[in-house]
Structure formats: C-alpha cells, structure tokens
Amino acid sequence: MKPITDKAEIVLEYPDKFYSGTFERTSRFDAHFDEGGVALVFCRGGDASERKSVRMHVHSGLFAEILNGLAKTVSAIAPDDLHRDALADGASALALALGPDVEDEDDNLTVEEEVRLLHILE
C-alpha cells in the first residue's frame, strides 16, 4: 500500500442510506490490474471509530471506456492546473506499459522515449 499524496472522496448513495468518506494524506491506497480488470483499495487506519476501507473492482472494458470518457472531458482541467502534468505522466506510463512487449534485446528506446521514461520514474 502506498501513502495518498492528495485526496480521494468516496460517496455511496442508496435510496435509504448515504455513505461518504474522505481519504487523505494519513491514508493509503493500492491500485493494480488483475485477470479481470482494475482493483482499487483505499484504507484509513486509526481506532475502530475512524478506521475504514473501500475496495472497488472495474472490469477492463469498462475501465477503457472510463479512460476514453476522461480524455473527452480533459478541457475541464485548467491549463495551469498543477495536476495536469501528473495526469499526463500517469497516462503516458500506462500507455507505455500497455505497449507491445519487446523481446529482442537489440531494440532500444528513442532519445524521446528515454527522456519521457526518466521523467515518469522521477
């Protein structure tokens, strides 16, 4: 589990119930792919009255639709928003990881790919 460096707000609404939770810097998260899709976990520790966790699983096809939907609405992010570069880096890292597997050791990254990879790894 990794520490949350920003903030996540989770809301569940049912006809007769409402649940709301915030996960901030004292909380942790995990995000990974498995055979079926994307698993997300948010956890906040503490005593029993404050401890909580949320687990979500989104199948790969739906996650792809979500990514496409986000791409269509990116204009809602102000050009000077500090998170814009972080989002672009994360999207680039995902796209690079989803690219074709390279089995030939003689294949090298271009200079642009090396710079982008170093920037993502920072």
- Span 88-112, pLDDT tens digits: 999 999 999 998 765 555 567 777 7
- Span 32-77, pLDDT tens digits: 999 999 999 999 988 888 889 999 999 999 999 999 999 999 999 9
What residue segments make up the domains of the chain, in order of their start?
Answer: 1-76, 77-122
Question: HEC profile for the chain?
Answer: CEECCCCEEEEEECCCCEEEEEECCCCEEEEEECCCEEEEEEEECCCCCCCEEEEEEEEHHHHHHHHHHHHHCHHHCCCCCCHHHHHHHHHHHHHHHHCCCCCCCCCCCCHHHHHHHHHHHC
The four Cα atoms 24, 18, 61, 43 give a dihedral, to 10 degrees, of 30
- The CA-based angle 42-71-113, given to 5 degrees, is 90
